Homo-oligomer: A and B are copies of this chain.
């Protein structure tokens, strides 16, 4: 942050405001405190029969690696609706949400993943601008050495270890 988005001043200081305990960008001209908080990534481990829908990334980062459909939650939506939207954007599949599957924090990049379990009723999906390829994998076929993100590996591992009927949510994190 170089300039205050409220008043345009360049008198930006990184400091702990009075009564706070974290450093914030504070505008010394107009007094605005610019809070920055983690972003939520909503995604879906979607199955058709006993296979898992996984997308080959057509965008950076991790271009060419495989990932569960997921993306930043948007203002104005519910978490579960964001997971449905992202699944459609990345795979053209219409998914029905079953339950929350994983909460995965990555503190050093200020992200928290919410991965839901879902089902697709028909094997209807296709490549999209974001995914060079979309495929259903059996558990044995999962390309473990070409998975894009730790969050996806965690979600897949827990699904395989505990199965689709596990009632709880798996809490995980990646600490650098």
Q: Identify the A interface with B (CB < 8 A).
A: 1-8, 10, 19, 21-22, 34-40, 72-80, 89, 99-100, 103, 105, 107-108, 110, 112, 114, 129, 167-169, 171, 173
Q: Are B171 and A169 in contact (CB under 8 A)?
A: no
Residues from chain B with Cβ under 8 Å of A110 in the complex:
75-76
Count of chain copies: 2
Q: How far is the CB of A3 from chain B (nearest CB, A)?
A: 4
Residues from chain B with Cβ under 8 Å of A38 in the complex:
40, 73-75, 77
- Knowing A7-B2, A167-B167, the reply to whether A112 touches B37 (Cβ < 8 A) is no
- Knowing A39-B37, A79-B112, the reply to whether A5 touches B2 (Cβ < 8 A) is yes
The complex places the Cα of A21 from the Cα of B88 at a distance, in Å, of 13
Closest Cβ neighbor of A89 among chain B residues:
B21
Residues from chain B with Cβ under 8 Å of A167 in the complex:
167-168
**Could you list 8 further interchain pairs (A-B, Cβ under 8 angstroms) beyond the known A2-B7, A38-B40, A78-B112?**
A3-B7, A4-B5, A5-B5, A36-B75, A38-B73, A38-B77, A79-B171, A112-B114
